Amino acid sequence: MSVEANAKPALLEIKGIKTYYGNIIALKGVDLSVAEGEIVTLIGANGAGKSTLMMTIFGSPRAREGQIIYNGRNITKLATHEIARLGIAQSPEGRRIFPRMSVYENLQMGASLNNFAHFTEDLERVYTLFPRLKDRATQRGGTLSGGEQQMLAIARAIMSRPRLLMLDEPSLGLAPLIALQIFDVIRDLNKREGLTVLLVEQNAFGALKLADRGYVMVNGLITMSGTGKELLARPEVQAAYLEGGH
Amino acid sequence: MSVTTNPERAAGRSDIVEAFKQAAWAAVAAAALSFPILLFRAGANINNMLVVRSRPLLVLGLVAAIFVARFFIVIWQSGRTTRVKSSGIGISPQTAFQLKALLVVLLIAYPFIMYWLTGPFGSLKWINNYGIQILIYVMLGWGLNIVVGLAGLLDLGYVAFYAVGAYSYALLSTKFGLSFWICLPLAGILASLWGMILGFPVLRLRGDYLAIVTLAFGEIIRMILINWTAFSNGYAGIASIPHVSFFGLPFEDDDTHLTFASFFHLHFMPIQQTIFLYFLILALALLTYFVTMRIRRLPIGRAWEALREDEIACRSLGINTTITKLTAFSLGAMFAGFAGSFFAVRQGFVSPDSFTFIESATILAIVVLGGLGSQIGVAFAAALMIGGTEILRELGFLKYIFGPQFDPVQYRMLIFGAGMVVMMIFRPRGLVSTRTPSIFLNEARTISGANVKEGHG
């Protein structure tokens, strides 16, 4: 059972992507689409290839087969920084903030993409979303707590005013309450500003509740897709990812 | 914003004034004490008669040393007390600025003070061996700091660009008769070109691998200079390189044409050229400093720092890491090129012996010792390492203790190694391990390196 993205045109369209690490195949032909204004989540176990797919969209590693179409343009062969300049922002796996630069400078790096055009405005917006970052503005990124670093990574991605925001496990290693806060922020951004979000998560329950649609990935292949509610209701999903009850 | 800065500024000024007062009192006390004790010394002359010798220089030097020491102790302590008060760390930016301005004034006055204290012949050593020599390494340290400290690209072959600069001036001036003032920018351009040539193949390398390739690059340049005798005259080097002129006026003892001495109606003295060279390297070093500080505030400078922190994050933020790396390499190389052509014009002779790996290692040690990315720390480290080596030459009295065979200079590497070990234990992030954010919202606060574990950012 698969639910196609409704009438809205797809902002990101992934067709038959195969990615290899050396001779080892990591993605075995993945199809996925994200429509403008949607929150789409990709869930799956460790090693399923979720992060690989996210990095493949960003061009490193490059897909060996298949096509990645963004906004009607084939971006499969573009360099990472060129892809970023098309309006795709990413909060990568492991946060990857700049540890020895201050929080403020980290945010500046996010805004450097569009030459600080709306910097003060965006800074205020980010500080409203994450008031904690304002208190920590002059502190080194590396001295923040895990949750604050995750907030910083998301805030830095938002600073570039992306059309598509890709988040790789934003709830990883966070206290449940902080994870909920982060999900709230994602929902808020999507509702109020129509930001398109592709969310990779292991926290399947939270992600599926948040998302319009979801994909389930197993061993480098998409095995199920549907709306968030549908997937939550499916026994296979419940057995594999929601065991223990939430 | 003005509300927060005004008291800070006032505090900064009173810090300096207070330090000055205390230093002056300490100096007066020192003078009062040392005047009766140290100024006169009884001794015997050739005829074994009792004579009294006065030693004004010793007393003056001592008083000056106490003044300077007291001044910096007070500044340092005031920095420590404000740390407790305002949760900011270290010296306030206003005080730091005033200290830097004071340092520049002292550096400008330095050759004249030395000339006044030790005369035209005695001051040669002080201006040349200490002043010029240290400033060359300060400049090289600042140049390498762009590559290693800011962009985080470990470069073990930095001396290659220094060599390119030196040989460009040597060859262009001896073969084509171009003047120093034309060769200086040319040397910078050539060196930065070579920086890019090195940059391209190593774009994909980081850390240890990058270090090895740059090390090899430094050796390749030296090997070419040794073996391509038709071009560079091999081991023999290039001699009789024209000396520097005062914007066209040569420093010569010659009445037949216009020289620096005759133009300014002075008596010719070799020290005039040395003092001019001192100011030249001071200007070049300050240029390096200001350009680096300026660029740190520009997007490209912050891209360098971000590159040092995390390359993948950089790319996903839309930063073109290729251009970022190449600019770091070429700008760092350009300053080495300037320093190289200065080296050639000062020595009047270049040979591959001056550009061995140990030079690269020394410059890198200066950068690491000073604290990666810290400009002022690098300057202090250069003074310590290069000045320290020179001071070892002065310790002739140790011969009386360890016997006539003892040469303290031979122990340079031992002392240096021990110093490095001590540094790594007590200050693993370098002499100055704090970094002021290049841009700040309301007030500048330094970000201490001590809060972040090494290897974890």
Chain segment A114-167, per-residue pLDDT in tens: 777 888 899 999 999 899 999 999 888 989 988 899 999 999 999 989 999 999
Question: What's phi and psi for A2, nearest 5 deg?
Answer: -135, 135
Which of A85, A89, A101 faces B309 most closely, judged by CB atoms?
A101
Helices (H), ranges, B179-309:
180-199, 207-227, 229-232, 260-263, 270-297, 299-309
B407 touches chain A (CB under 8 A): no
SS3 B316: helix
* Distance of residue A3 Cα from the nearest chain B Cα, in angstroms: 31
Identify all chain A residues contacting B310, using CB atoms and an 8 Å cutoff: 96-98
| CB contact (8 A) between residue A92 and residue B316 | yes
**H or E stretch at B81:** helix B56-86
* Distance of residue B92 Cα from the nearest chain A Cα, in angstroms: 15
B307 touches chain A (CB under 8 A): no
Which of B303, B316, B440 faces A138 most closely, judged by CB atoms?
B440
**Chain A residues bordering chain B (beta-carbon distance below 8 Å):** 58, 60, 79-81, 84-85, 89-90, 92, 96-102, 104-105, 108-110, 112-113, 115, 137-143, 156, 160
Beta-carbon count within 10 A of B88 CB: 17
Residues of chain B with pLDDT under 70: 1-14, 79-92, 433-457
Residue to test with chain B: of A54, A80, A90, most B Cβ within 10 A = A80
Phi/psi class of residue A173: alpha, beta or left (left: φ > 0; alpha: ψ in -120 to 50)? left
| CB contact (8 A) between residue B316 and residue A80 | yes
The tokens of A92 are what? 């990568």
**Contacts within 8 Å (CB) and 24+ apart, B248-256:** B248/B179, B251/B276
State how beta strands A10-21 and A39-44 pair.
unpaired
Q: Complex ipTM, two decimals?
A: 0.84
Q: What is the pLDDT of residue B453?
A: 42
Q: What is the pLDDT of residue B80?
A: 57
Which of A80, A98, A143 faces B306 most closely, judged by CB atoms?
A98
Phi/psi class of residue B166: alpha, beta or left (left: φ > 0; alpha: ψ in -120 to 50)? alpha
Q: How far apart are CA B67 and CA B39, in angstroms?
A: 18
Identify all chain B residues contacting A102, using CB atoms and an 8 Å cutoff: 437, 440, 447
Helices (H), ranges, chain A:
50-57, 80-85, 103-111, 119-129, 131-135, 146-158, 176-193, 204-210, 228-233, 235-241
- Who's near A236: CB < 8 A, 6+ residues apart? A224
Residues above pLDDT 70, as percent of chain A: 95
* Distance of residue B440 Cα from the nearest chain A Cα, in angstroms: 7
Q: What is the pLDDT of residue A41?
A: 95
Identify all chain B residues contacting A156, using CB atoms and an 8 Å cutoff: 317
* Distance of residue A49 Cα from the nearest chain B Cα, in angstroms: 18
B313 touches chain A (CB under 8 A): yes
- Under 8 Å between Cβ of A39 and A192: no
**H or E stretch at B128:** none
* Distance of residue B83 Cα from the nearest chain A Cα, in angstroms: 15
Which of B308, B314, B452 faces A142 most closely, judged by CB atoms?
B452
Identify all chain A residues contacting B445, using CB atoms and an 8 Å cutoff: 138
Which of A92, A105, A108 faces B313 most closely, judged by CB atoms?
A92
* Distance of residue A116 Cα from the nearest chain B Cα, in angstroms: 10
CATH of segment(s) B106-451 = 1.10.3470
A160: closest chain B residue by CA: B317
B456 touches chain A (CB under 8 A): yes
Q: What is the pLDDT of residue B375?
A: 87
- What DSSP designation does B428 have? T
Q: What is the pLDDT of residue B439?
A: 56
Q: What is the pLDDT of residue B1?
A: 37
Secondary-structure class of domain A1-37+46-86+198-246 per CATH: alpha beta
Identify all chain B residues contacting A101, using CB atoms and an 8 Å cutoff: 302, 305-306, 309, 437
- What DSSP designation does A37 have? T
CA B345 remoteness from chain centre: 18
Domain limits, chain B: 13-78, 106-451
Q: Residue A46's pLDDT band (boundaries 50, 70, 90)?
A: confident
Q: How far apart are CA B120 and CA B275, in angstroms?
A: 11
| CB contact (8 A) between residue A113 and residue B317 | yes
Q: What is the pLDDT of residue B9?
A: 45
B446: closest chain A residue by CA: A138
Residue to test with chain A: of B1, B305, B307, B316, most A Cβ within 10 A = B316
Which of A79, A99, A105 faces B437 most closely, judged by CB atoms?
A105
What is the DSSP secondary-structure string of B339-374? Answer: HHHHHHHHHS-B-GGGG-HHHHHHHHHHHHHH-TT-
* Distance of residue B194 Cα from the nearest chain A Cα, in angstroms: 26
Which amino acid is located at B58 in the chain?
L
Q: What is the pLDDT of residue B432?
A: 73
| CB contact (8 A) between residue A60 and residue B321 | no
Q: How far apart are CA B453 and CA B457, in angstroms?
A: 7
- Who's near A194: CB < 8 A, 6+ residues apart? A36, A37
Beta bridge partners of A140: A102
A93: closest chain B residue by CA: B313
Q: How far apart are CA B428 and CA B453, in angstroms?
A: 10
B439 touches chain A (CB under 8 A): yes
Q: How far apart are CA A204 and CA B452, in angstroms?
A: 34
**pTM for the predicted model, two decimal places:** 0.80
Q: What is the pLDDT of residue A87?
A: 92
Q: Which of A8-22, A79-93, B248-262, B364-378 has the lowest mean pLDDT?
A: B248-262
pLDDT at residue A64 above 60?
A: yes
Q: How far apart are CA B452 and CA A141, in angstroms?
A: 10
B315 touches chain A (CB under 8 A): yes
SS3 B74: helix
Q: Break chain A down into helix, strand, coil percent, rounded to 5.
A: 40, 30, 35
Identify all chain B residues contacting A109, using CB atoms and an 8 Å cutoff: 302-303, 306, 314, 317, 319
Question: What's phi and psi for B53, nearest 5 deg?
Answer: -105, 140
More confident residue, A67 or B246: A67
The tokens of A120 are what? 């003060």
Q: What is the pLDDT of residue A53?
A: 94
